[in-house]
Amino acid sequence: MTRCWGFTDPGQRFETATLPSISFEINILQLQPGDVLNKPHRHVALFERYDDGESRDGNGLILYEFTTTQGSDRVVHGRTNWRRWLGYTALRYKRVC
């Protein structure tokens, strides 16, 4: 995920628990492309945009998620509902212009 924020040095690794050290918390309603939804020690997703209302439950989010399935790493892009992200914190990278 941090490659999306410009980190290419393998020595600069960040995890869900350490992302707050390079970002700051924002209101979930202020998400912009490139921000993340983070749950320390659990999961993180990269925000693309708000759903325009096409999802089954009304408004939601369009995100990129990084997962491991059957031993293979992959990126999943898709629509999701707000309820799934309860308990997550919206973060923005500190060095965004």
- Chain segment 41-51, per-residue pLDDT in tens: 999 999 999 98
75: pLDDT strictly greater than 90: no
Give the contacts of 67 (CB within 8 A, at least 6 positions apart): 73, 74, 75, 76
Q: What is the mean pLDDT of residues 3-20?
A: 70
Per the prediction, the chain carries an average pLDDT of 82
Start-end of H helices in the chain: none
CA distance 10 to 95: 19
Ranges of each domain in the chain: 2-93
User: Could you report the per-residue pLDDT of 14-30, keeping only the tens digit for each?
Assistant: 778 888 888 899 998 89
Quote the pLDDT of residue 2: 58
CA distance 3 to 26: 21
97: pLDDT strictly greater than 60: no
